[in-house]
Amino acid sequence: MRTQEHCFTGVTAAAPWRVRAVSVQPSYRLSITCTDGTSGIVDMSALVKSSNAGIFAALQDVQLFQQISIELGALTWPNGADLDPVWVHEEIGKNKTWPVPV
């Protein structure tokens, strides 16, 4: 299980939707916390395993999935896949667990 905190000395992310921490969980799930304290689980299993996964299909490789990082408050992977942080924040704020749609 890998956890990443995103912060730079002297820099404060003002937007509430910015992801500040992410932890990789089993079964293509991510535990996230946003700058405003909103937190929950992003379940990417259906998307990653879908025949329509597009760029996210490569994330079936668990080692690649675990290489998630936070760039400017967004969840990103080395292959160029990313998730819209506003959408993530909105869905996690409503339900605490968000199964990312295909």
Per-residue pLDDT reduced to its tens digit, 43-102 = 999 999 999 999 999 999 999 999 999 999 999 999 999 999 999 999 999 999 999 999
Pairing between β-strand 3-5 and β-strand 97-99 as defined by DSSP bridges = unpaired
* Cα–Cα nearest to 6, from 77, 72, 76, 86: 72
pTM assigned to the model: 0.85
Domains and CATH numbers, the chain: 15-99 (3.30.2020.10)
At residue 25 the predicted structure's pLDDT band, cuts being 50, 70 and 90, is: very high
14 has a pLDDT exceeding 80: no
User: What pLDDT is stored for residue 12 in this prediction?
Assistant: 53
Q: Are 47 and 60 in contact (CB under 8 A)?
A: no
Give the separation between CA 55 and CA 61, rounded to whole angstroms. 12
